[in-house]
Amino acid sequence: MSRAARITAVAVLAMLALQLAWRLWLAPPTQAAPWTMALFFSLPILPAAVLVLLRHRRAGFWGALAALLYFCHGVMLAWSEPEVRGLALAEAALASVLVVAASWDGMRARFAARRARRPTV
């Protein structure tokens, strides 16, 4: 497993932990049951977390796909809800790390192939 794949796996599990901690302990909702909101906000990252635990090679793809939703959510809340700005920025930052780590190996291979095809003068 590459370093990027390990970072991706840790980021997926950290995102799941952040969603659960946010809705259950750190800033529980007042209009709904905290466990309901924790389950609802954990659903997008849950398939990736299961794939990480099974050591499946597609876990990073599904984690990065879910991270795009979390990034948008984090930026929106950081902009509009000052009381949870820290959690929202942490969510957006973790989502960014997840997307970059999940795509790192593929981008490295792509640019290595491009360098190999380039004619030397």
How many whole angstroms separate alpha carbon 18 and alpha carbon 27?
11
Q: 3-class SS at 29?
A: coil
Q: 3-class SS at 55?
A: coil
* Domain that residue 109 falls in: 3-117
How many whole angstroms separate alpha carbon 46 and alpha carbon 40?
10
Confidence (pTM): 0.91
In the chain, how many domains are there?
1
How many whole angstroms separate alpha carbon 40 and alpha carbon 79?
22
**Averages of pLDDT over each 10 residues, the chain, 121 residues:** 96 98 96 96 98 96 98 98 97 98 93 81 65
